[in-house]
Amino acid sequence: MLYGFSFAKQRIKQENNCYLVEGYTDVLAFHHMVGWEQVVASAGTSLTEAQMGYLFRFTTKITLVFDGDQAGIRAALRGIDKLLAKGFEVKIILLPPGEDPDSYLRKIGAAAFIHYLNHAIQDFITFKAGFLLNHTSEQHPVEQAQCIRDIVRSIVAIPDEITRSLFLKKCSKLFSIEEALLLSTYHELCNQATSTPLLQQKRSFIKRHGTGNHSPYVDHRKLHFINKLTTSIEAYEQEIMRIVLTYGCVKLSEEQYLYEYMFLELGDIAFRSANCIMLFDYFKKVLQLGGTVDIQCCLDGMDEAIKKIAIDLMASPHEISEAWVKKYGIYTVGEIDNVYQMSLEVILRLKIRLVQELIEQNREELTKELTLEAEEHLLQVHQSLKASECSIAKRLGTVVAQ
């Protein structure tokens, strides 16, 4: 399936790196003229899932070594996104135009060839930028924007959230583009990606089996009502934090940022989710130091745990069902177009769930054997809580109706 793999796999495992070339003569040249065994060839075919699966058993790092002609560059571009999506760390080495490893080795010798490999190696962003933005002497801004979108699309393919964040930062610096703009493009492409059949299958698998980084799927229909409330409360807490991270620095007025309004609305509410508690405490420290609250304040900090929590929350799994649009003709505006109403709605939904949880707890207490005085007190509490529930429901109904 991969030429030379049976000879290369042990050295690949030892080095934790595999050099992937195009042809079998290139593998032989590496073996006999350089003495490197960790080299395999795809034999001119595009990489398959099975081939990548075999490689992933032995290494997470792949270095593509391709001819410097247009065909070699195109082959490298085809392979990059597949490897990134599989979880590989990808580097690229392009040989001079008209050369392949076999011919170039014979021309310059092993020592000079190794020197060239060590100095010509690039990460995928640098490689794609060099090709996509410089393959013509001049480009229209629209073409340049399309090239940058193509690079961001490759970043979207990376499974690890922290790695994606670091590459977005590098892309921002490389092209002198504000990271917020790249993040906007990133989320747009993420939303497009989640509609593909492959990722829908992946989401379905995660729901059924869970992953090491997420809680296992639970059939909420079998939960006691109060446990359902607890689950939804934590979900709303996470959604609130996602909104703060994404739109915290949006100005609602000349004097108020969105995060200030949201923190004011939350009042004395104490979060349940450990990640939300940690993030909220971090926000308090940022504000005490005179900073502003959004995703950037987390990424700029030194706390790796905070970075991971923030990135995980930004990669929201929620989306609007396509059936709403196709079957009912219901369309929604983008979040940024209605960020105030969206923020108020999610806070009210959290509040009403908290009140409903208290109502259920109070109702359970009423089922126990009680003194007349205690029962009367719990009934008064019940009336008060139901009044609060109705009040929030009215506000929520007004917000949703708008």
pTM listed for this prediction? 0.45
Least confident range from 98-107, 190-199, 259-268, 374-383: namely: 190-199
Q: Cα(272)–Cα(384) distance, rounded to whole angstroms?
A: 23
188 near 336, Cβ under 8 Å?
no
pLDDT band of 255, cuts 50, 70, 90? confident
Q: What is the reported pLDDT for 129?
A: 73
- The pLDDT tens digits of the residues spanning 110-158 come to 888 898 888 888 888 878 777 665 554 455 667 677 778 888 888 887 8
Place of tokens 């793999």: 5
Burial class (CB in 10 A: 0-12, 13-18, 19+), 308: middle
Per-residue confidence (pLDDT) for residue 328, from 0 to 100: 38
CA dist 19 and 47 (Å) reads 14
pLDDT of 321 over the 50 cut: no
Residue 234 CA to residue 232 CA, distance in Å, equals: 5
316 phi and psi, to 5 degrees? Answer: -65, 135
| Confidence bin at 172 (pLDDT 50/70/90) | confident
Structure tokens at 176: 């002198």
Which has the higher per-residue pLDDT, 212 or 378?
Answer: 378
Going by their DSSP bridges, the two strands 18-21 and 61-66 should be labelled as parallel
